[in-house]
Amino acid sequence: MKKLLCMLLVAMLALACVAAVAEDYEVTLILKDNTSAGWRYLAAAAIATGDEIGVKVTENSPLETQDADQQYNAVLDAIEKEVDAIIIAPVDSAGIVPAIEKAVEAGIPVFTTNTRAFVNNEDDIVTFVGVGNEQGGYDIAKYMFSQFPEGEPINLIIVDGNRTGQTTLDRIAGIERAIAEDDRVTLLDCQEAKFSRAQAQEIMENFLVKYDDIDLVIALNDEMAIGAYNAIVAANRVDEMLISGFDGTPEGLQAVLDGQITASLNQDLPGQGSEAVKAVKTWLDGGDVEDWIVVGGEVCTPENAPALLEKLVK
């Protein structure tokens, strides 16, 4: 037991030494999970930008589940670490508020990215970096509807994300607003696939058996759109329907270029990460920051995808 303990301690020490390098400002970045591709792009960009401008960005996101309490704990740990700022993409826009209030109380500025927090006092948040998810949902739905000829009915399937999270609720609200404005559209079905390619593929397989007349599939992120596409290919029904994604990840943009999915909505996740870190730097240096730094928001089509992709890969 003693030997094992010693070995464990030494291993932990060694790991910690690698992690401890000091820079000008220290920032904790809290994203929704540690596993989805989109968040990795955001984190990588944030860390890279931080390295350039002298901000040490440490990520501490919940591991696999999109867990509001783990985010709460991460904020509290950041307060104890006495970091200079916190950047957070809340899983639960309401559930994160008490933690944000604690950070503000401790004198640590809080920046939100990707998803807003429903704070009671707007001054608690320095800035929000990202697109409006509701507007994004509306825009992509509008764009997809416009692909269909006038007067022809559109049978719609929505591949939902994760109904316990804010992003999903906002995007769905936007899509519903677009549906309400367009009397051609019938919503056939909507099921959640947890933003996972694997789950979307399985759900789409079921839908394909159930419905003979699907015209449009709106997936709430690119991963799920690609999953749905795989299912549709396997069923030999590619020509029957259009698919849209969301996020504008490299895989998503490539799928748009390859004609697998029709469009995506560019969230510019790397842009969210780097802009947020830049805003932190400006603010800590004593500068002023806008209340809302708009990043991305355009519909990705085969026309603009090459340019967007080039920007991402760079």
Binding positions for another protein, 239-298, rule CB under 8 A: 251
- Please give the span between the terminal C-alpha atoms of the chain, in angstroms, as a whole number: 50
Q: According to CB under 8 A, which one of 135, 142, 164, 176 is a site residue for another protein?
A: 164
Q: Which of residues 51-70 bind another protein (CB under 8 A)?
A: 58, 60-69
Q: Which stretch binds another protein (CB under 8 A): 47-55, 147-155, 200-208, 265-273?
A: 200-208
Q: CA 185, CA 180: separation in Å to the nearest integer? A: 8
Q: Which of residues 131-160 bind another protein (CB under 8 A)?
A: none
Q: CA 106, CA 217: separation in Å to the nearest integer? A: 46
The least distance separating another protein from the CB of residue 36, rounded to whole angstroms, comes to 7
Three-state DSSP at 92 gives coil
Three-state DSSP at 154 gives strand
Q: Which of 7, 277, 256, 270 is nearest to 143 (CA)?
A: 256
Q: Which of residues 201-230 bind another protein (CB under 8 A)?
A: 201-203, 205-207, 209-210, 223, 226-227, 230
DSSP symbol at 55:
E
Q: Which of residues 6-35 bind another protein (CB under 8 A)?
A: 8-9, 12-13, 15-16, 19-20, 34-35
Q: How many residues bind another protein (CB under 8 A)?
A: 81
Q: Which residues, listed in sequence order, are joined to residue 55 by a DSSP beta bridge?
A: 25
Q: CA 27, CA 139: separation in Å to the nearest integer? A: 33
The least distance separating another protein from the CB of residue 250, rounded to whole angstroms, comes to 10
Residue 238: count of CB within 10 angstroms of its CB: 13
Q: Which of residues 65-124 bind another protein (CB under 8 A)?
A: 65-69, 72-74, 76-77, 79-82, 84, 91-98, 105-108, 118, 120
Q: Which is nearer to another protein, 73 or 304 (CB)?
A: 73
